[in-house]
Amino acid sequence: MGNSNNEVMEVLERYSQEINNEIEKVLSTIEPVSLKKASIHLTKAGGKMLRPALTVLVSEAVGGDKKDAIKSAAAIELIHTFSLIHDDIMDQDDMRRGMPSVHKLWGEPVAILAGDTLFSKAFELVINTKVDGTSLGNESFERINQTLATVADACVKICEGQAFDMGFEGNFDVKEDEYIDMIFKKTAALIAAATEAGAIMGGADEKIVSAMYDYGKLIGLAFQIQDDYLDVVSDEKSLGKPVGSDITEGKMTLLVVKSLAEANDKDKKRLIEILKFSDTSPENVSEAIDIFEKYGSIKYAYDVAMGNVENAKQLLEILDDSEAKQALSLIADFVVKRQN
């Protein structure tokens, strides 16, 4: 288990240098200096670079040339970074990746602009695929168009997902399918766009493009559900934050949604009370976890995540065998094996 996680980390690192080079190049011309610094800040903060690696790996797995996908990969990472910067403003989160968030360092106006700039630069990057020369001829225009459509669609979904998430606050009638739709939009849509973009830029046929989108969507959903799950089964050291933080913050998770659907009136009422507390104690957290366990919600979340990963791996069977395909399978496993 630990070994395959190491293998995944090695794959991610292998690509991150090249992707970072693309990002650095496209952001280097931003003016004035304050806006450039604010725009670059989070890209230097050492994210896992999972999304862009997926783009490149899928493009390789469908037989494409890495060079054709690298700018789209970098673009996906910029979209991810843009959404983190704006989310941190909206959620008033002062820390991100162990560093002060962009609005904390440069103020909200510059942080809004930095996000907008990264957004614009992401589109510029995809378009530059052609300008900078690829192995492709004129068909690259069509591929670039399709990739931009994928990216733009994911951006709309990210905004919608964040709006739904904010709307769920204090709403304890959220149904499981509404919750899944929210995390699809907020988290999984961009991962699906990452894998779809790789397939498009790699020149895959429609059937494979669609399968790769679904693969990305499924591991994206599993990724978020695993986050929900880890919050109550992991330990503070692995998480980098106290166990049960989601409970303390009253966040909607699959554990909450499932428990509220299954619990008797008394337990339901108590769980809602705990989630609404403004200063939740460790005893409250334990009590909530007991309710999750009583209704099998923790195992349920794990099973849903595992099921998504298994289905994602099945979808990879459409691809010919390759090292890249092997890596995509390992990444699917990694999503539910990671401890943080």
**x/- contact string, 151-180, with a second copy (CB under 8 A)?**
xxx-xx-xxx-xxx-xx-------------
Contact in structure between 316 and 46 (CB atoms under 8 Å): no
The CB-of-49 to a second copy minimum distance in angstroms stands at 22
Nearest to 111 by CA among 123, 122, 121, 100: 100
Contact in structure between 75 and 126 (CB atoms under 8 Å): yes
Helices (H), 132-205: 139-168, 176-183, 189-201
Q: How many residues bind a second copy (CB under 8 A)?
A: 45
Residues 35-74 that bind a second copy (CB under 8 A): 35
Nearest to 312 by CA among 153, 158, 192: 192
- Tell me if 115 contacts a second copy by CB under 8 A: yes
Helix (H) or strand (E) holding 82: helix 66-91
Stretch that binds a second copy, among 16-24, 107-115, 230-238, 257-265 (CB under 8 A): 107-115
- Tell me if 120 contacts a second copy by CB under 8 A: yes
- Residues pairing with 96 in the sheet: 99
Supply the DSSP symbol for 317: G
Helix (H) or strand (E) holding 19: helix 2-27
- Which of 43, 101, 117, 259 lies at the binding interface for a second copy (CB under 8 A)? 117
CB nearer to a second copy: pick between 27 and 61: 27
- Tell me if 138 contacts a second copy by CB under 8 A: yes
The CB-of-154 to a second copy minimum distance in angstroms stands at 8
Stretch that binds a second copy, among 26-34, 51-59, 198-206, 236-244 (CB under 8 A): 26-34
Radius of gyration of the chain (CA): 20
Report the C-alpha gap between 243 and 80 in whole angstroms. 26
Residues 270-309 that bind a second copy (CB under 8 A): none
- Tell me if 95 contacts a second copy by CB under 8 A: no
State both tokens at 336: 């539910």
The CB-of-153 to a second copy minimum distance in angstroms stands at 7
What sign has the CA pseudo-torsion 305, 307, 308, 310?
A: positive
The CB-of-82 to a second copy minimum distance in angstroms stands at 8
Interacting residue ranges for a second copy, rule: CB under 8 A? 30-32, 34-35, 86, 89-91, 108-110, 112-113, 115-117, 119-121, 123-124, 127, 130-131, 138, 141-142, 144-145, 148-149, 151-153, 155-156, 158-160, 162-164, 166-167
